[in-house]
């Protein structure tokens, strides 16, 4: 085998952007041939993938997957809307969602380290980054294990996703009810399920703000507390799913809608949990001057 030094590994790393261990392995596999090692890294998709690690992955999709009694809601990001709409990217996200359902990892780090048919999910994503040509990253996911059934709703190809855990038998009546609640959740984006879920600290802060607001209006102190409690009811209606007025019929709350559905189905119906993701929410998209971006693309083509 031809000899190579630590400087060769470093030079290959600087040229390809790949990690030190990947560069060392490529040089070993290439019998010390520097050019061949670079080709191996490109063939493996590692060089291209590593070069894209600094990119901002602000596009992507929210994806839902249900297998038996387990449901998964996951957001996977890429760099462009064009790739996000592509079949290949959706296949990659589907594979990641199935892996989450299979191993139920505690967090993204555990997911990336999990075995996916002889390779880690991190390696799989790195390879697919090389194939697709854009950075791919798993941002977040939620797993529900239910005693009833999971209802999901994905809006406009993945711009938003909802997952609900209903503790009741799955029948045509309860399924229709769950679908309506999912649609409502997508529209109203509640923060909590019910009033009891609002943290005491959040409630105390809201109550203090409302009290100051009432006092600033010149209301007598004797009735200010009563007015605040009335305003808190509006806070619950705005932020708590079961207290919200149903989007299709504002004469009933979502809680009342579920109660009506339970009566019609003839079985107890409980919404145990809900989750919704808005794709890219909170991610700051990198904006660059057009001429600078074109210059970068031209320079990249020379490499």
Global pTM reads 0.75
pLDDT score of 66: 98
- A 10 A CB-CB count for 299 gives 9
Positive or negative: CA dihedral 249, 158, 175, 236: negative
Q: What is the DSSP string of 218-284?
A: T--HHHHHHHHHHHHHHHHHHHBGGGSEETTEEEEEHHHHHHHHHHHHTS--EEEEEEEEETTTTPP
CA-nearest of 170, 146, 184, 98 to 273 is 146
% the chain with pLDDT above 70:
86
The pLDDT of residue 294 is above 50: no
Sign of CA dihedral 271, 241, 163, 264: positive
pLDDT of residue 21: 77
Q: What is the pLDDT of residue 52?
A: 56
Nearest to 168 by CA among 53, 56, 266, 63: 266
CA distance 104 to 77: 20
10 Å CB burial of residue 120 (0-12, 13-18, 19+) is middle
Position 284 scores a pLDDT of: 64
What kind of fold does domain 6-51 have according to CATH? Helicase, Ruva Protein; domain 3 (1.10.8)
Residue ranges, CATH 1.10.8.10, the chain: 6-51
Q: Looking at the predicted structure, is the pLDDT value of residue 107 above 70?
A: yes
Residue 303 has pLDDT above 70, yes or no: no
What is the assigned CATH class of domain 55-145? alpha beta
Q: Residue 263: its pLDDT value, please?
A: 97
Q: What is the pLDDT of residue 266?
A: 97
Nearest to 129 by CA among 56, 59, 53: 53
For 61, the token pair is 């999709």
Contact 233, 203 (CB under 8 A): no
Domain with CATH 3.30.479.20 in the chain: 55-145
pLDDT at 162 over 60: yes
Indicate whether 15 pLDDT > 90. Answer: no
Q: Are 125 and 138 in contact (CB under 8 A)?
A: yes
Give yes or no for residue 281 having a pLDDT over 60: yes
């Amino acid at each position: 085998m031809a000899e190579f030094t630590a400087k060769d590994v470093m030079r290959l790393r600087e040229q390809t952007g790949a990690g030190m261990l990947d560069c060392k392995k490529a040089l070993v596999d290439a019998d010390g041939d520097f050019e061949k090692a670079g080709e191996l890294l490109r063939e493996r998709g590692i060089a291209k993938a590593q070069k894209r690690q600094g990119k901002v992955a602000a596009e992507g999709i929210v994806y839902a997957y249900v297998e038996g009694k387990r449901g998964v809601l996951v957001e996977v990001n890429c760099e462009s809307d064009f790739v996000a709409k592509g079949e290949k990217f959706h296949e990659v996200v589907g594979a990641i969602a199935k892996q989450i359902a299979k191993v139920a990892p505690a967090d993204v780090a555990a997911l990336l380290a999990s075995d996916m048919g002889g390779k880690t999910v991190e390696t799989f994503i790195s390879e697919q980054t090389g194939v697709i040509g854009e950075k791919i990253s798993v941002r977040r996911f939620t797993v529900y294990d239910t005693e009833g059934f999971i209802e999901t709703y994905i809006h406009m190809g993945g711009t938003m996703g909802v997952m609900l855990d209903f503790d009741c038998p799955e029948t045509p009546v309860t399924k229709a009810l769950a679908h309506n609640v999912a649609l409502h959740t997508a529209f109203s984006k509640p923060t909590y399920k019910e009033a009891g879920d609002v943290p005491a600290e959040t409630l105390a802060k809201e109550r203090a703000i409302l009290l100051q607001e009432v006092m600033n209006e010149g209301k007598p102190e004797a009735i200010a507390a009563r007015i605040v409690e009335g305003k808190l009811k509006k806070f619950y209606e705005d932020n708590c799913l079961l207290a919200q007025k149903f989007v299709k019929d504002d004469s009933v709350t979502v809680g009342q809608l579920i109660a009506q559905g339970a009566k019609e189905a003839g079985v107890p119906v409980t919404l145990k949990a809900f989750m919704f993701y808005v794709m890219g929410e909170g991610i700051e998209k990198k904006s660059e001057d057009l001429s600078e971006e074109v210059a970068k693309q031209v320079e990249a083509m020379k490499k």
